[in-house]
Structure 1
């Protein structure tokens, strides 16, 4: 078997296609989660804590370059200039994003597992009292 035909067989398998679809949907889902975190949750948290914007909180570790023309209090400007910083606010945003994504994936897997779980049927109930009485009568008649 040649490499070309082996590769075609590999690509044609359903698992590879499922994986490709999963990666594409996962990328899109990641963008949705990022937007949920950055555009909905973090602004609400900021509003609750009096305008606290997590993404703008950092500790500058390095000095400003001589040709720096941006705002020395703006995280994006400092990052673009290559200033060494500890961006704890952005890191916190990413952690919240991860927790939300992990929780949603947990809920999805839990739902799929419940749908795929084999249906457990109740054990058949024992015979009714009437059936037991009829059996006793039958056994007595046989004797």
Structure 2
């Protein structure tokens, strides 16, 4: 019984110590300043009525740290329903820089797409890499 009580007290102490150790640490730089420029559709064959379609545009990193950005691009039909999603990864985007997007992957004509919906996931890059 005494061993159990001693173990419980030690575990409680470690939990309190770990919570107190994190207090006052800086949160780190913001990663919210990533913008995706206007995206346009381009046919891979030059005719928007034929297969296939790609998305072109720009992504800008206005943060103070380098990032990896993952763009999730949904093609929506006339009813606003998703027809397909492509992922486009932009690795090692330096602070205060931009890069072209050339995302292939829609296997239907550009004319079938009414609008695009994008989500951006951002991960900060630590130096040196962990």
Higher normalized helix content (fraction of residues): 1
- Please report the TM-score for the alignment, with normalisation by the length of structure 2: 0.31
Higher normalized strand content (fraction of residues): 2
Between 1 and 2, higher relative CO (CA 8 Å, sep ≥ 6) is seen in 2
- Please report the TM-score for the alignment, with normalisation by the length of structure 1: 0.29
Greater Cα radius of gyration, structure 1 or 2: 1
